[in-house]
Amino acid sequence: MPIKVKFFASLREQLKQDLKEIDAAGIQTISDVWEKATDTPLLPSHVLCSVNLEHREPHESVKDGDEVAFFPPVTGG
């Protein structure tokens, strides 16, 4: 199964994409997902991430079928 990648808010607008599916081959961490999904090497430090709807850190692992999301700092309330 592919990894589903979502982008939100200003990040979605900057990258001009909201949803992408990528092959999990060669992917180990969230940072790897960012590189493959955006074709850019380094996950910016201000970008937050989640796996399967839970906040996670870039070094944490991902697997086939996961939903990974990238987004800017939250501003609700």
Partner 1 sequence: MAVFIKPDAFDPAAELTRFEATLPMGSFGATSSFTGTMRDFNEDSSVTMMTLEHYPGMTENQLESIIADAKSQWDIIDALIVHRVGDIQPGNPIVLTAVCSAHRAAAFDACRFLMEALKSRATFWKKETLLDGQQRWVEKNTPG
Stretch binding partner 1 (CB under 8 A), from 8-16, 25-33, 37-45, 58-66: 8-16
- Alpha-carbon distance of 75 to 3, in angstroms, equals 27
User: Which of 5, 24, 30, 69 is close enough to bind partner 1 by CB under 8 A?
Assistant: 69
Whole-number Cα distances in Å, 19 to 53, 76, 77: 15, 22, 26
Number of residues that bind partner 1 (CB under 8 A): 16
Q: Which residue has the tokens 């001009």?
A: 16
Return the H-helix or E-strand segment holding 6: strand 3-7
What track of x and - describes contact with partner 1 for positions 31 through 60 (by CB under 8 A)? -------------------x--xxx-----
Interaction between residue 19 and partner 1 (CB under 8 A): no
